[in-house]
Chains A and B, each alone.
Chain A
Amino acid sequence: MDELIIGGRSLSSRFLLGTGKFKSKQELQEVIRRSGTEVVTVALRRIDLAQNEDNIVCYIPENVVLLANTSGARDAKEAVRIARMSRETGLGNWVKIEIMTDSKYLLPDNQETIKATEILASEGFVVLPYISPDLYVARALVKAGAAAVMPLGSLIGSNQGLRTRTLIEVLINEIDEVPIIVDAGIGRPSHAAEAMEIGAGAVLVNTAVATAEHPAQMAEAFAKAVIAGRLAWNAGAGDESSVARASSPLTGFLHE
């Protein structure tokens, strides 16, 4: 079995799904089903007392891990507070650290992310930090106790694909202790397949699925792309060549 291990938990799907921006909770439920995902991200927000609606967790199957993000956190202290509140729901101890102050590019603050990872890992959280890909930061996160490292492929919600591919490949090659999960910017199934082909442990996708014309179909397309990419990685791709290499035998031609 080719399983993904995060925080001691074995997962058979390498497709993590974000739950933002869906048109309805019913739609999300169908998307989760067709995606085959076993980990979904959620955010923590102040509830609207005037609008008493069903909570999102009622639409997420019990066998799916909730990965609470720290969106809204501007520094390590705020991220830690959000993570502790999330754990208090009693719905798990997985946290995606997401710390940012820039609202135009939504780039993560790597330094604050390391600080938050140290604190939360020591408190027993399963910590998945979202970072700008950087080898030294990734090493510091592993040392701090991160359960995975999640570099961005391109800007959040941009659908631009693996613009940081070279840097992600460095992480994949150099970090053996935990999975590298490509988060953010994956806009099409081919991008997800590419990430898996270069050896990513998993991908996390939200916008590309949620904003598709038919999200449930797109979820299935991503699920298949992730499987295809992973199979290709395991299969070991041949090398590239700048000149042609014949596939058919070069002997026994009919004109000979």
Chain B
Amino acid sequence: MDTEAGTLAQLVKAYQLSPETIVIEQNGNLAKRTVWAATPLNAGDQIEIVAFVGGG
């Protein structure tokens, strides 16, 4: 994706995601919610954003 966001927190805000329901992996590592604001987003980063959905 293309984004202007410089940190994970800015990314969450840019896509209007509710922070309390999502989990982010950055380059295969879990990024804890508490560090999103301080975690820079670099070009080429592999970002995985997941949330709960219905399932059995």
- A residues with CB within 8 A of B: 18-22, 28, 41-47, 49, 52, 55-58, 66, 68-69, 71, 84-86, 88-91, 156-157, 184, 204, 206-207
Known: A89-B21, A89-B23. A44 touches B56 (CB 8 A): no
Known: A46-B48, A85-B30. A56 touches B20 (CB 8 A): no
The smallest C-beta distance from B17 to any residue of chain A, in angstroms, reads 7
Residue of A nearest to B21 (CB): A55
Say whether B44 faces chain A, with CB atoms less than 8 Å apart.
Answer: no
Per DSSP, are chain A's interface residues mostly helix, strand or loop, or mixed? mixed
User: What 6 pairs between A and B have smallest CB-CB spacing?
Assistant: A43-B55, A18-B56, A206-B56, A55-B21, A19-B54, A42-B52
| Residues of chain B within 8 A of A69, CB atoms compared | 55-56
* Whole-angstrom CA separation of A202 from B23 in the bound complex: 30
* Whole-angstrom CA separation of A19 from B55 in the bound complex: 5
Question: Would you mind naming 8 contact pairs between A and B with Cβ atoms under 8 Å apart?
Answer: A18-B54, A20-B55, A28-B54, A43-B54, A71-B56, A85-B23, A88-B33, A90-B33
| Residues of chain B within 8 A of A90, CB atoms compared | 20, 33
| Residues of chain A within 8 A of B23, CB atoms compared | 44, 85-86, 88-89
The smallest C-beta distance from A5 to any residue of chain B, in angstroms, reads 23
| Residues of chain A within 8 A of B49, CB atoms compared | 46-47, 49
* Whole-angstrom CA separation of A157 from B20 in the bound complex: 31
Residue of B nearest to A82 (CB): B50
